[in-house]
Amino acid sequence: MSRRGSKQSDFNHPLQSSASSSAAGGRGRGRGRGHSAPSPPAQTFYPRPVQTSSAASPAPSTAAPPRAVAPVPASAGPGPSRPPPVQASPAPVPGSGAVATTAPPAVQTVTSALEKQLTLETSAPSSSKAVRFPDRPGFGIAGRKIQIRANHFQVKVAVPEIYHYDVAITPEITSKKVSRDVIDLLVRAHCESILGNRMPAYDGRKSLFTAGPLPFEIKEFKAKLGDNDEPGSSATSTSSRKKREREFRVTIRFASKTDLNHLTQFLSCRQLDCPQETIQALDVVLRATPSEMFDVVGRSFFSPELGPKGPLGNGTEYWRGYYQSLRPTQMGLSLNIDVSARAFYEAIPILDFISKNFRLDLRRPLPDQDRIKIKKALRGIKVQVNHGQNIRRYKVTAVTKEPLRALMFTDENGTKKSVVQYFQEKYNISLQYTQLSALQAGSDTKPIFLPMELCQIVAGQRYTKRLNEDQVTALLRATCQRPRDREDSIRKIVRQSKFSTDKFARHFQIEVREDPVVLDARVLPPPMLKYHGSGGESQVQPMMGQWNMINKKMIAGGTVEHWTCLNFSGRIHRDLPYQLCQNLAEMCNSRGMRFKQSPVVPITSSPSGQIENALRNLHKQCKQANIGLQLLIIILPDVKGSYGKIKRICETELGIVSQCCQPRQLGKMSKQYLENLSLKINVKVGGTNTILNDAYVHRIPHVSDVPTIIFGADVTHPQPGEDSSPSIAAVVASMDWPFVTRYRGVVSAQKHRDEMIHDLYIGDPAAGIPHSGIIRELFRAFRNSTNRKPERIIFYRDGVSEGQFNQVLLYEMDAIRKACSSLEPGYLPPVTFVVVQKRHHTRLFPADHGPRARDSTDRSGNIMPGTVVDTTICHPREFDFYLNSHAGIQGTSRPTHYHVLFDENKFTADELQILTNNLCYTYARCTRSVSIVPPAYYAHLAAFRARYYIEGDTSDAGSSTGGKGISASFEVKLPSVKGNVADVMFFC
């Protein structure tokens, strides 16, 4: 319990720079939330803020910095020269504002209180104390009703019980394929005699499922498997290389019996917790047959039999396949099937692979730096040699430092012999490339040397490293399908799967419908957008997810007086930089900005090899002349690879806001290109392009009534194979309530592949650790910007898989609560926590692909922008929905899945769906609606920008060692973004 004025508020402290981003200082006071309150009822563990109407709580002035907003000529019609200021006089917060030395009681107890709130029992029973996500608050009714199809196929299960058995194989097998071979051998040998004619479904690891009990509780079997892959030495005699058999001991032990009644009760919303073990068992059954037939990658299957393969370049090719997953939905169990493609190594000779990846003269010895590159490219790849009686396979562990001709080994007679001599005597092979290094397999103590010219890459190996831009482009081009073609491909996969005759599906009495589900959907209307009144049009309603800037001016145009341009391209005409800047200044001015025509420093050109010197010299020149450079226009070099370096130097070292331009775009100098540049530049200098008209008239539910801060958060992880790079967390927050279009971003580095955002709140004053963290920094920036403190939080969290929902919610909600309490005792604004999922395999198709579907499809043949689904294929009980907020350009649109994990603001389905859809029209970089809600999009951009800051610093760490993942804990300090850059949307 707290009393007004009895404790100190931290809101009026100057902003402190975090390790990742510095914030502008400022002062301000606001009403405290320190009123006395009795213990809350069971369903409300945290005091809610006093809800005030917009009349009682007038909107604050716009958050656009005064230095960046240009005076605009008097309006010919209605409309403000900037988002209109409304006077606000918040009550002062008592207290001196000194930093507290002890954590408030709310900070100390918030974790246990949050866990208690999240695990409250509701009317439906639960078999375990799991986190309770909010119930669906009803179904949405807004919008025009339509019917569409989804790539979900209804599944019915008749088997009453499924028995789960633990499987232990000795010696241990790491390969799922080999494990399946062992169990398959066992089943074929003992199905009738010992297994009681059961047809076990095996997951390739530790679990085996049967439809009914096996006739034993525990039993041990022996299985002998032919071995083609056991590594041998190059000096081993041919006779000892004959195919051996490996013997395994397999122990099958009863683990549990699955009652499908629990699943039935859950699907009908009479049971709260989802019986994941039952769904996993059924999923294993439906995956058993394709797991035997195809290459398994996660939840997907790939094979040349599933479609034509094609080259991707650099010794890689794509294989076609499909994704399959069993999901609980409102219609019952649903099998989600989608087409897929993935990169694999081409089954080509090693020398061809090296030639495709490296420009080397193979007639010369390998320089050490090239040998290390080849080693990095080949390590872990399986190769095969067929110079003996049998084809042998080996896994590459290294590339020898010595050339092949210098390699010696001791044969079985104890005689030292060269590898070249051995192959000549043993196989009558005269090796041609003896100056090259050899591939090494086996261990360092017992190495196996393989001449490169005799090795070929084994087919069917997944390429796990980062694809370059050309490979990504080739993969997208090869797999991009229009909605009709994609749906036809999915239907074909379902027909080929033949679930009706599948031996496992029949044994477990599982029926899968072959027709995709038809479901009800709604098309939400696009929002009205507000522009400046001095333009020809002060309002516009987008059509098909897009609009244009003709006869429109930005709602708050920024001012650019001090600017210049640096050109690093050597191929463009020398007059093009001047022409670009002149045209760009005219475009910015015509769109409502005040952009000075002449640069403050003459436009210059520099060689692409002198980027850092040119930037530092320019910065030094401006500093000596006491010029505060507001914008630097940069024409990028002709060769890719300098963008990240430029952004790192400008944003973290020099404090320069920059706008980069591609040299290939300058030849066209199209109006559309210049307009897009002007949109980016305006928000980078503190302006605002457009706002929602509903925000202008204070008509957004749960946003307009009280000061509301909207967060977007994301964690991006390094590319596969990069074991040394950290994960990057980024959080952005709106700074211009009630307009929610301008965001401030903070980034931080954290442990490798850690999904939780650890810097949301930091502090333990009792241990000498002061309060800090991302939430505090952004809250105080909001206070400085709006002169109000947030009274409501909407948190869009990107990049979380379903298996991480509980963990992320508990950890990050706890951090949010602690951060709020540390700012002011008893300060706990209500939170709505929404996960944003883009990486899923649900696709939505028009019910009719023909000409009659024009009123329900866009020009690409995809479903309409604004299409929302919260029935049939959504969660049986929880608050989730699919939203296709954008118009398709090519291929098949992917809707975004929004799942509400926590909701103290009590959104209705329509309110949250409409808010999310409308926000998708406020993305600053274009005049189109985007596919994910902009705060999450901005967080994604900020995280990727931060990765540029450390790119190259750790890329080679550990690359010359044989260990795997030894650098994963290598700590990288992310450089701070300079304060003047952090104040604006530098990530756009």
pLDDT digits (tens, 9 = 90+) for 536-554: 899 999 999 999 999 999 9
881 pLDDT more than 50: yes
Q: How confident is the model at residue 738 (pLDDT cuts 50, 70, 90)?
A: very high
- Give whole-number Cα distances, 714 to 879, 938, 942, in Å: 21, 9, 9
179 pLDDT more than 50: yes
61 pLDDT more than 80: no
List all residues 6 or more positions away from 850 whose beta carbon is below 8 Å from its beta carbon. none
pLDDT score, position 668? 83
819 pLDDT more than 90: yes
- Give whole-number Cα distances, 820 to 144, 892, 974, in Å: 40, 42, 25
Mean pLDDT, range 206-231, rounded to an integer: 85
pLDDT score, position 9? 66
Question: Which of these ranges, 73-87, 597-611, 771-785, 941-955, has the smallest mean pLDDT?
Answer: 73-87
pLDDT score, position 445? 84
pLDDT score, position 18? 44
Mean pLDDT, range 3-10, rounded to an integer: 49
444 pLDDT more than 80: yes
Give the C-alpha separation, 56 to 49, whole Å. 14
User: To 5 degrees, how large is the angle CA 388–CA 389–CA 395?
Assistant: 55
pLDDT digits (tens, 9 = 90+) for 473-520: 999 988 899 999 999 999 999 999 999 999 999 999 999 999 999 999
What is this structure's pTM?
0.86
405 pLDDT more than 90: yes
pLDDT digits (tens, 9 = 90+) for 157-175: 999 899 999 999 999 998 9
**Other Cβ atoms closer than 10 A to 503:** 10
> Average per-residue pLDDT in the chain?
85
| % of the chain residues with pLDDT over 70 | 82
Question: Which of these ranges, 32-41, 102-111, 374-383, 607-616, has the smallest mean pLDDT?
Answer: 32-41
pLDDT score, position 13? 60
Mean pLDDT, range 426-436, rounded to an integer: 93
pLDDT score, position 765? 85
First-last CA distance in the chain: 44
300 pLDDT more than 70: yes
* Residue bearing the bigger pLDDT, 259 or 342: 342
pLDDT score, position 78? 39
pLDDT score, position 415? 81
806 pLDDT more than 70: yes
Mean pLDDT, range 93-101, rounded to an integer: 36
pLDDT score, position 114? 67
Residue 813 backbone phi and psi in degrees, to 5: -65, -40
* Residue bearing the bigger pLDDT, 414 or 954: 414
Mean pLDDT, range 791-816, rounded to an integer: 95
pLDDT score, position 227? 62
Mean pLDDT, range 39-59, rounded to an integer: 36
- 206: amino acid identity, one letter: K
Farthest CA pair distance, the chain: 100
* Contact by Cβ (8 Å): 24, 781: yes
pLDDT score, position 414? 78
Q: How confident is the model at residue 31 (pLDDT cuts 50, 70, 90)?
A: very low
pLDDT score, position 81? 42
Per-residue HEC secondary structure of 950-979 comes to: HCCCCCCCCCCCCCCCCCCCCCCCCCCECH
**Is the peptide bond prior to 171 cis by the omega test (within 30 degrees of 0)?**
yes
Question: Which of these ranges, 315-319, 570-574, 891-895, has the smallest mean pLDDT?
Answer: 570-574
Q: How do strand 594-595 and strand 559-560 relate by DSSP bridges?
A: parallel
pLDDT score, position 923? 98
Q: What count of residues does the chain have?
A: 988
pLDDT score, position 901? 97
